[in-house]
Structure 1
Amino acid sequence: MDAELNTKYDTKDLKMEKMPEEKQEETDKLVKAIGQFGKWQLMLWLLIASPIKISSAWQQLGIVFIAPATSFMCEETNLTNIIEMNTCYSDCVSYNYYTDFENTIISQFELICEKAWLSNFTQTICMFGVLMGSIIFGFIADRYGRRPALLISCMLLLVTSVGEAFCKVYWLFTAVRFFIGLATAGTMLCSFILMMEIIGPMKRELMNCLCALPMPVGQMLMPLFAYFLRSWNNFCLGVGIPHVLYLAYFFILPESPKWLISVGRLEEASKVMTQAAKWNNLPTDNMLDIAKSIASEKVNSTEPLRKATYLDLLKTKVLRINIFGSCMIWFVLGISYYGSNQYIGQTSSNVFISVLLAGVLQIPGILLSGFFCRYFGRKITMISFLIVCGGSNAFLVVPEDWFAVRLTMGAIGVGCASGAFATMYMYTTEMFPTVARNMAMGASSTVSRVGSMLAPYVAGMTIIAAWLPPVAFAIVPIVGAITCYFLPETRGKTLSDHLS
């Protein structure tokens, strides 16, 4: 009798020990069906993620060449005899403009003197569009799917980026810039979420790096457009025309099979899975049965499927901690990333070289992000990047004569901020379930845009004291590192589908 009891007890223990391994196998059924990373995923990265990221750099940072530094001098006055450069006169009849470009929005719309603030206001409105787009397209993508949200944002970006070049009135130009920001946010968020949902856990770090690298590449290409297209409208047209590629997305862009399964559209999911398996030379049999099996594991079939809302991100303690922590870190990165880029831009009088350099310096940070995330985890990687970024920015308090030190520390700050941004994109997708993932990314990105809009004002505190901006840019990343301490580690974990 004792022997029988012991046998039963041992068998029970054995089953309990094997359960985690079996559970891991069950949750990886989608990955087994379509592959961790194959020709299908690579094709979508080349045709979708890369062009979108390159374009996002052009649209968010293009203001550098649309409204570059422009000097002016009064050409004719009614009363004043002595005329000085960059000085406004109430009796001036007309002004001449001096810049490296044939025409800028400053000279086109006469944004000088009492209207000088309008050139920065245009960028603020564009970033406000990015902020709103993060919310709107995050909701659309989670409610109606990644494919429709991405198609809408791509078509909106195609129309507005080309139409921008033909705006002859300042306020119309600024309104179009708002919709460009709106569309850019949608393309960035939806494409990234789609790519992360079709990749296996073992290749997530690789895909995250691949999705992040085109951004600095786009920034490095941008000076070439500006150098050969020396007027603001030609530049806008030059970076807008490549968006014609987006028309092909109506034929090649798939829906996320993970999202389709999460909302119960299993037949559609099986078709996408079959297509992926064919590309990756994997078996294509019984895809619908596999989709049904995955769906049955994720949610009780007797419960009706419910659409998630932004309020669902606050309903459980875990999600509340994750969303508040994520938003705080994205806010920190918004200030740190754009603040670091602004510093690099101030180290050279040649705008073409400074923008190119800022793009080059981001690549090492992104590559290190993938390596550290793979071997040390997301949490440690984020904390390390943020601490080094803060420490590097602290060295910017040295005198301006120490040019080499300031440039080196600024370069390290840019690289760390870029690496942290790349890490946080992946980290955020892993902390939230499929039905609310885009909304979480949208909310976090929204807060980041607030930080990016504050960055120029933080940098402008030099008028109060020269040491204030470096100190601010040093403290802010440390606050982000402390916040990250309270977030969970997500390395190697399967992406959840439903709200717990």
Structure 2
Amino acid sequence: MIEKREEENEEREKEEILTKLDVIGNGGWFLWKIFFLCTIPSIFNGLHLTSYIYLAEVPVHWCHVTELSESNWTDEQIRMISSPVGSNESSCEYYNWDYEMISKMNVSEALEEYGGENSNREKPELIPCSRYDYEKGLSSMVIDHDLVCERTALKSMIQVSLSLGKFTGAFLFGVLSDKYGRKLSFLLGCLIYVVSGPLVAFAGNYSMIVAGRIGLGAACSGIYNSAFVILSEIASKKKRAALGILYNMSYPLGQMIIPLIAFFFRDWRTLQLIISVPSILIFAFYWMLPESPRWLLLKNRKEEASLMIEKIYSNQVKNDDDKGRSDETGNETKDEAEDDKGKYWKNVCSTLNQLVQLLKYFELRSRLFIILTSWCICSLSYYALALNVDNFLTNRYVYGFVTGLVEIPSYVLPLPLLKFFGRRQTSIALFYLGDVVLLFVASVGRLCASAVFAVVILHTTELFPTLLRNTAIGCCSTAAHIGSMSAPLIVDILGAYAWFIPSTLCGIVTLLAGTMIFLLPETKNKPLPETVEDVVKAPKSDRIGFHQICPSDLRH
């Protein structure tokens, strides 16, 4: 009897804390403080995401001919004789002339006999370049490490390595965040950021560049996912959608800033250092960010959560803020606190159990599969269009700025759609619209890809319970980075055959993703699930299935 009364008292205290948290999360200085503290660090993610198109710019290149270079021939003269594509385009092969003999000839006579339009000499076989020359006045990773022609895949790996870091970081930081807190995950991301950025700038070889980019990717995941979950778990469900969407504007802001910096700092090492050093400031954000109150409650750290909420609540809340709050928070107070005694092996087993829980039940397993696929396809389309500058005849600085600018309205677009149509319908509509325009207008397709990405992220946070939420987001981010790792390979390798292949492929796979979203339940205006039971024992209308294609509210 006494134990039951104690449990009731604890439950009542948790309800009071969550009720006050919901008031705080409904607006006011604290909520906006959290929003900006979470959003600003992610701008660095946008910087490093698209820095690739400036750090690894591919210059016009051609085969180095030692004999002619030592005879003081100009680059244009050498290419007129050796290159099969003339002096204005890149080449990976050159004619197998006797260049030793040609170097002893008068330049004008040699050009007339071997390279002139009226030359009657039969062209010899083409052979692959052993060394390359590049257009002057350009600094690039590609030049330093000869990442052209048969080594193009190594150039793509510079961006793949960033995605690989995000791939592993999303999973590891996701599990770490659920076990040891959102703030610790954020702090480790900051530490890796500060080390990895300068490592790339001062890299003496290709392997160091790849290692540094992997570190940057892992840091991006740690900072982005941890900050996003803190914001989502503090904001009320009334504000969660808008703030979750606006949070993603940090990426396009970074994408708009990087071409401006790159325009004035053309040396790739200087550029990398300039966008890396300011990340030291992110450490200050760690000290200002609070731990997620929901996570503290889940870990039976009720006193810490209570002290935090009481301090903020007493400074912010007005009497009229309390009106009508009980209806909104009544269903968000379910919680099963985990017995965490701090023992190492129990923590390890518990971490593995979180992964098992996601796969144990059909409902969670099915949700995870569809969301994983959606994240992967969103990421593939997003990155492929962002990196596709070399397949378009356009200024890369203008292209980079415009793609970031186009992305900003993509995060505003979902807000009215989410208000009237919910998560499912908005995702489906944007996937299908993106499918159509990707086949015809790449920039508009980028807008849709960005918009649906924001909606899918929000939908994911509302589909999984608190105990598994960050682990689920980590798994989804991991899937997304499979897409982002594929993007540079598709752009650099398949795009070399035809400029339209990357956008066409993206259009096909987005059609698949949009169709799969039909099976997911709608989560608009519904409380965040706190436990696994909240998901697996939910009413049929809130579970996955073909009945979602035509829900009951549309059939009547």
Worse-matched range after superposition: 114-123 or 161-170: 114-123
1:313 equivalent to 2:358? Answer: yes
Which residue of 1 is the match for residue 11 of structure 2? Answer: none
In structure 2, do the counterparts of structure 1 residues 299 and 28 end up closer, same or farther at CA, with 3 Å as the change threshold?
closer
Q: CA deviation at 1:281?
A: 3.9
Asked if the contact 1:335–1:452 (Cα under 8 Å) also holds between the matched residues in 2, the reply is: yes
Give 1:213 deviation, angstroms: 1.2
Decide which of 209, 218, 239 is 2:275's aligned counterpart.
239
2:451 corresponds to which of 408, 419, 435: 419
Structure 2 SS opposite 1:309: helix
Indicate whether 1:83 and 2:112 are aligned: no
- Aligned counterpart, 2:511: 478
1:490 aligns with 2:523: yes
Q: Distance in 1 between matches of 2:38 and 2:286?
A: 15
Q: Distance in 2 between matches of 1:171 and 1:311?
A: 36
Amino acid at match of 1:42: W
Match of 1:60 in 2: 49
Amino acid at match of 2:532: L
Distance 2:509 2:168 in 1: 24
One-letter code of the match for 1:490? T
Moved more, 233-242 or 370-379: 370-379
Counterparts of 1:250 and 1:109, CA distance in 2: 37
Q: RMSD over aligned Cα, in angstroms?
A: 3.0
Q: Aligned equivalents of 1:68 and 1:261: distance in 2? A: 49
Query: Per the alignment, do residues 461 and 94 of structure 1 end up closer, same or farther by CA in structure 2, a change over 3 Å counting?
Result: closer
d(CA) in 1 for partners of 2:249, 2:336: 40
Structure 1 segment 31-50 matched on structure 2, within 5 A: 31-46=21-36, 48-50=37-39
Give the letter aligned to residue 403 of structure 2. Answer: A
The answer to whether 1:330 aligns with 2:375 is yes
Structure 1 partner of 2:297: 261
Which residue matches 2:411?
366
Using the size of structure 1 for normalisation, the TM-score is: 0.83
Q: Does the aligned pair in 1 maintain the 2:164–2:214 contact within 8 Å?
A: yes
The Cα shift of 1:95 comes to 4.5
Consecutive unaligned residues in structure 2, runs of 5 or more: 1-14, 70-77, 95-126, 320-325, 341-349, 534-556
Aligned to 1:351: 396
Between the aligned partners of 2:390 and 2:130, the Cα distance in structure 1 is 34
- Is this contact kept in 1: 2:43–2:254, CA < 8 A? yes
CA distance in 1 between counterparts of 2:460 and 2:130 reads: 55
Q: Give the deviation of 1:128 after TM superposition.
A: 0.8
Do the aligned partners of 1:27 and 1:494 also contact (CA within 8 Å) in 2? no
Whichever residue aligns with residue 494 of structure 1, its letter is P
1:194 to 215, 221, 230: 230
- Alignment correspondent of 1:223: 259
Shift of 1:329: 0.7
- Is contact 1:344–1:410 with CA below 8 Å preserved after alignment? no
Q: Which of 432, 446, 461 pairs up with 1:429?
A: 461
Q: Structure 1 77/92 Cα, relative in aligned 2: closer, same or farther at 3 Å?
A: farther
Q: Is the CA contact 1:60–1:127 (under 8 Å) kept in the aligned structure 2?
A: no
Deviation at 1:27, TM superposition (A): 9.9
Pairwise CA distance, 1:438? 1.1
* Same amino acid, percent of matched pairs: 28
How high is the TM-score relative to the length of structure 2?
Answer: 0.75
Residue of structure 2 in register with 1:72 after alignment: 61
* Structure with max Cα Rg: 2
Q: Quote how far apart the aligned CAs of 1:337 are.
A: 1.6
Q: Distance in 2 between matches of 1:191 and 1:257?
A: 13
Q: Which runs of 5+ in 1 are unaligned?
A: 1-24, 284-289, 396-408
Distance 2:510 2:131 in 1: 46
CA–CA separation in structure 2 for the residues paired with 1:30 and 1:128: 40
Partner residue in 1 for 2:188: 152
Asked if the contact 1:433/1:499 (under 8 Å) is kept, the reply is yes
When residues 94 and 345 of structure 1 are mapped into structure 2, their CA distance, relative to the original with a 3 A threshold, is: closer
